[in-house]
Amino acid sequence: MVTWNEAASREEGVAQARALFTQTFGYEPEGIWSAPGRVNVIGEHVDYNGGPCLPIALPHRAYVAVARREDRTVRLVSPQTQEEVDVLDLDRVAPRGQEGEVKNWAAYLVGVAWALEQAGYGPLPGYDVALWNCVPRGGGLSSSAALECSMAVALDELAGCGLAGSADTPKEEGRKILVDACRRAENEIAGANTGGLDQTASLRCTHGHALELDCLDMSATPIPFDLAAQNLELLVIDTRAKHSLNDGQYAARRADCEEAARILGVDLLVCVKDLESALEALNEERLRMRVRHVVSEIARTRAFVDLLKEGSLEGERLKVAGALLTDSHDSLRQDYEVTCPELDVAVDAALAAGAYGARMTGGGFGGSAIALVDAGSGGGVAEAVAAAFEREGFMEPHFMIAVPEGPAGREA
């Protein structure tokens, strides 16, 4: 028996968020906004090194029903917390580790308001918020970025900042500003030292496309990614293994990269042009491993994007695309050391069941893997992965088919 994690329809998300708001606060919200989770097709742990990434937005979204208040109080509720509404004061919000730090999921929502004010967009009003989220939590699919970005477009409209535009006609420069605010919320208020990949995907991806994101200058180019038209599909395997980006492991990898860049005399590892010379210049094997992954992953990502631009993934192009995905996982497993037994078993089982390529996606240490498979074969591959998990005594994995969706915006 395979468990599929289906996305809620937009109508259901809106209805759930509105109902929770009115039930909790006793009046109607001013509007409802949403933002998607994401899958990164390839380009892992290179965003904070200035490299290219290739995310798509998922149909799974976080929905926020919001209304302004006359004071600086923020009241937050979700289905998990409706017995106890979180109440915070915008004047007392502070970064992690300081007096006024915000705990748990509230950090993502309140952190965006704090970051916007830090960037000069304020003072903002207080607000009441009801959150309803169908992005799997802890699955490495950027549920935190979905929370941040849904809140960002809501605050942008309610406070009259005018940065986002609509989902159909987005303002790219304004959305870059919102990406930075959401990233600061995650880094400084929630305490996860991530790059801007997740927030950019949630705010700037478009329907039917992957986003070629250059993290050196944050320029983004939509690349057609209609796998169904090529008789393919992208299976997402949520291992349900514990996944957290603020437990120190993610920060340690980033620190390794920064130390290696300092020794090599470059600002970011994307500036490394000769991998062999760089490896010879590093004395510590740990740093050599990190650099080898980052530089090779940058090359793999550029090669994968070139394949998409050349034409349909079929024949030799499909074979090479699959190999690039699998090589990415091997590098993340061996050189970057961010996989886990569940991720490795998921990838190996998917490949054995006929996937063209498979890899972990997201920060690692748990979370999800993806597999590029023939259209209609995702169910069979999922069954093979589930059987492998059962043999290993792992928690039952969940599955979805990833279809590229649109960015954060107003729903109602």
Q: Which residues are catalytic?
A: 198
Q: Any alpha helices (H) in 26-167, and if so which ranges? A: 106-118, 143-158
Q: Which residues contact 34 (CB under 8 A, 6 or more apart)?
A: 10, 13, 14, 61, 62, 63, 64, 150, 408, 409, 411
Spatial distance between the Cα atoms of 214 and 54, rounded to a whole number of angstroms: 9
**Prior bond of 125 cis (ω within 30°):** no
Positive or negative, the Cα torsion across 116, 122, 126, 132?
negative
Question: Pick from 319, 410, 406: which is nearest to 37 by CA?
Answer: 406
Spatial distance between the Cα atoms of 58 and 56, rounded to a whole number of angstroms: 6
**What single-letter amino acid sits at 350?**
A
| 52-53 sheet: strands from edge to edge | 52-53, 209-214, 219-224
Q: Six-digit token pair at 142?
A: 């950027």
Q: Which residues contact 161 (CB under 8 A, 6 or more apart)?
A: 116, 121, 155, 174
Backbone angles phi, psi at 315, to 5 degrees: 60, -130
Cα 274 to Cα 270, 302, 303: the distances in Å are 11, 16, 17
